[in-house]
Amino acid sequence: MNVGDGLLDTSHMGPMANPRRPAAIEKFIEDATSHGAKVHTGGERHGKEGLFFQPTVVSNVPVQARIMNEEPFGPVAVLTPFATFDDAVEQANRLPYGLAAYAFTESAKRQC
């Protein structure tokens, strides 16, 4: 994924919203890894200037990690497997807010 000037056709992802976000995302990633999460890709600022952060994927993030309880407002995807459908619903409804969530399943019945 090409990170750069959001006005260029060659960029797939532009800068973050404000100067506080890159440092905030770094803290979210540090906290998640201190709780045992694994960073699969990204996890760092992109370049030395500007408000850019690498697209990041983390997994095995426990519920105690900040990123599981606060919206990071940054390019981070958190992958969390569930043993049962009820576990997934419980976690999806655990917090009083949610800007976006995605579920992947092999069952057309479960997706509804």
Q: Per-residue pLDDT tens for 2-54?
A: 999 999 999 999 999 999 999 999 999 999 999 999 999 999 999 888 899 99
pLDDT at 112: 64
> CA 63, CA 66: separation in Å to the nearest integer?
8
Q: Can you give the pLDDT at residue 69?
A: 93
Specify the pLDDT at position 102: 73
Amino acid (one-letter) located at 11? S
Tell me if 17 sits within 8 A of 73, measured CB to CB. yes
Domains of the chain and any CATH numbers: 21-111 (3.40.309.10)
Locate tokens 């890159």: which residue? 22
Alpha-carbon span 32 to 68, nearest angstrom: 9
Amino acid at 87: D
Question: pTM value?
Answer: 0.83
